[in-house]
Structure 1
């Protein structure tokens, strides 16, 4: 497989766009860093980031209808490289990668009407705008994170060393940023000003290349120091992520925590080795915040204690997912899809036949992991989405032609994996970049070629 290119964006264009964002950041940085009377809320009670929300559980805040059907669809005119997020008050947000024109869209969830769109220097292995409860956005960009108001106005820009992978609201005032180079810090969500010093989780990487290791982030190979979004426990302001220090034999699972006080700081709580490696999939936090779950390179799913990183259990799923598992309300984990879901730029020549990608459900009981059910007849194409009432949505390869196979969405029973409803997605082919569910039960499927389908 050839190394992946970074998303299409010329250096000259990127520098110009960053300059505009930086100018907006300077103006916002002059604002007072005082309490804002609760105006800055936490993350939206909807699908607010890459894997659903701070715990990365891939679980919606709502149920879906028993027989969802297509509500609307539209093409965005450019490849998409992330999951659609939503604000819980009627708007969905989708990022694309393009040389010109808009690449961040705000769409009315009911009918797909474009509320606004912007040209921004978006960047990263998975570009999903994090949204708060007022509809404001925090967007991974070339060289940093940009904040946008609900109507699309630039608010501030916070530069980062490397490409942002974690952009998560810890509370109403603090935003956790982690770059793919393993540089973590907290900024004020209202101003973008630093609230803590940097914490370098993968050592001092001596390079001026902000894209160092980026081509390996989508699949989590050792070339990428910190490939995926951290799982965050907002109650304790603790984040869990996988990290690889250049030169080390094994990657590690790391916990970091925001420590308030006269001098607010991030501190490392613990780190443990992951001798079987890991993929570029987000760590998932359990319902009771007692465990985190990590896909390993040997085809197993492992559980680790959040208190000290001790291994709790592991269970084989039989393949290497490239997207995180979804967590059902009863603690069952449903595995994710394969590399065909990841768009790696115009020079990407990876094999579209990624091999088997079944849907497998596992659960830990009495210190051991066991398989609950398995669907070997399905070839899963992206992240699964669990619903609040214990069902699972998966996007899978379906009919079509040999040259252009189709895509279908299955609604599965979380107890036994049986298909409750199947939707053939019209005129959809190729990789899938994401699947999400908003707080009103609308299902958003985004294909890598840049088409959005919403079912209700």
Structure 2
């Protein structure tokens, strides 16, 4: 009883004053660094890296790790012990906390605010923990939040794989606007025997953007306009769509829908720095640029492989797609067309490329029988440095860069590797 009471006190101690920084900030607070899913940080990238530490998490990993402003690492998994969200300290990899959640927390990304409070979904809820792992609040939702982001005004934007959208207070978890169901509300009067699907229904299709997962990816948020963008595959439709919505004036409103994603979505959408363009990849090997105002297709680029997971999009329109079946290449946005700037067909991707300050990029690639963290020159794609992930197999879920320039990746089979700038 004392434990329940203490949790209630923690959850209820929020105030109406919100002075906790959110957004792109220091560290890697979201799966793809920021609300725009840019995969770009202003932190100066080091040209030589060295392995600092590695450790298993005792379960598989699906989502990129997030990193707080002071280097605290967060990762979701599924373990036999029920541990679902883990936090590690950057210098040594020492575990700070390991909390049980529903088994499908592995499918939810974590986001971190300026006080190292984390926000993550699981089976039927959004959860928040403080930097010590103590619970702050838990808010029920329908499904599993496969997208968790921050809005421009510092709320938590949650979207489940079944299409439920909620905007929640970061302090209390309370709903700030009415819930929106992208696929519409079920008519329980017409169908009184209708039951809600299990929270994890359709999640198996989310990793590949398949039709049983209505919303497969992480929302891209344009903080300045209040707009955000999702990939949505509505039941019975021949292909998936990019959908634009706006949060503001006390509601979430749907703006436009562009049914352009052949065979489903390949990547999360990403928004350009000026907010004018939305980029996304589909399962027919295409990179697509849409006008953010109306969904008009600006250009389409056939890549020759399926872009998967994310796109790194710089402020000047250099786009580097991820995709474990592809290779490292860069595409330049030319407004109504695109141009291949460089390509490295010899470098097979096994992770998500990111861009940093100083013209340096990082990704994981297959080299020999294993995996290497590759440091590359953004201007021409040339390899600057290459560091082995000892005994690593398969592929990685993302590439995250801390405020101090460390690079952290996690393999899908469940091991975290941290690299630091070589002195």
| Global fold match (TM > 0.5) | yes
Match of 2:365 among 385, 392, 396: 396
Structure-1 separation of matches of 2:4 and 2:319: 41
TM-fit CA distance, 1:31? 5.5
Cα deviation digits, residues 424-444 of structure 1 (max 9, x gap): 222212232332111111000
> Could you tell me which residue of structure 2 aligns to residue 242 of structure 1?
231
Q: CA 1:440/1:425 → structure 2, altered by over 3 Å: closer, same or farther?
A: same
Indicate conservation of the 8 Å contact 1:165/1:229, yes or no: yes
TM-fit CA distance, 1:103? 3.1
Structure-1 separation of matches of 2:295 and 2:404: 36
Q: CA 1:48/1:423 → structure 2, altered by over 3 Å: closer, same or farther?
A: same
The question of 1:410 aligning with 2:396 is answered no
Query: Per the alignment, in what secondary structure is the counterpart of residue 62 of structure 1?
Result: strand
Structure-2 separation of matches of 1:247 and 1:219: 18
> Could you tell me which residue of structure 1 aligns to residue 196 of structure 2?
208
Q: Which runs of 5+ in 2 are unaligned?
A: 187-193
> Could you tell me which residue of structure 2 aligns to residue 52 of structure 1?
33
Q: CA 1:173/1:412 → structure 2, altered by over 3 Å: closer, same or farther?
A: closer
Misfit runs of 4+, over 6 Å: 21-26
Structure-1 separation of matches of 2:6 and 2:185: 30
Match of 1:39 among 16, 19, 36: 19
> Could you tell me which residue of structure 2 aligns to residue 371 of structure 1?
340
Q: CA 1:297/1:307 → structure 2, altered by over 3 Å: closer, same or farther?
A: same
Query: Per the alignment, in what secondary structure is the counterpart of residue 207 of structure 2?
Result: coil
Structure-1 separation of matches of 2:42 and 2:109: 18
Structure-2 separation of matches of 1:168 and 1:217: 17
Query: Per the alignment, in what secondary structure is the counterpart of residue 194 of structure 1?
Result: coil
Q: Which has the higher strand share?
A: 2
RMSD (CA atoms): 2.3
Indicate conservation of the 8 Å contact 2:352/2:396, yes or no: no
Q: Which runs of 5+ in 1 are unaligned?
A: 1-20, 339-355, 400-404
Indicate conservation of the 8 Å contact 2:266/2:306, yes or no: no
| TM-score between both structures, scaled by the size of structure 2 | 0.91
Query: Per the alignment, in what secondary structure is the counterpart of residue 274 of structure 1?
Result: strand
Query: Per the alignment, in what secondary structure is the counterpart of residue 204 of structure 2?
Result: helix
Structure-2 separation of matches of 1:280 and 1:297: 5
Structure-2 separation of matches of 1:321 and 1:280: 6
The question of 1:198 aligning with 2:179 is answered yes
Match of 1:255 among 239, 244, 251: 244
The question of 1:362 aligning with 2:331 is answered yes
Structure-2 separation of matches of 1:75 and 1:51: 22
Structure-1 separation of matches of 2:264 and 2:362: 24
Q: CA 1:236/1:441 → structure 2, altered by over 3 Å: closer, same or farther?
A: same
Q: How many pairs does the alignment contain?
A: 410
Indicate conservation of the 8 Å contact 1:55/1:231, yes or no: yes
TM-fit CA distance, 1:30? 5.2
The question of 1:380 aligning with 2:349 is answered yes
The question of 1:138 aligning with 2:119 is answered yes
| TM-score between both structures, scaled by the size of structure 1 | 0.84
TM-fit CA distance, 1:216? 0.4
Structure-2 separation of matches of 1:236 and 1:368: 25
TM-fit CA distance, 1:125? 6.3
Query: Per the alignment, in what secondary structure is the counterpart of residue 138 of structure 1?
Result: strand
Query: Per the alignment, in what secondary structure is the counterpart of residue 268 of structure 1?
Result: strand
Indicate conservation of the 8 Å contact 1:283/1:292, yes or no: yes
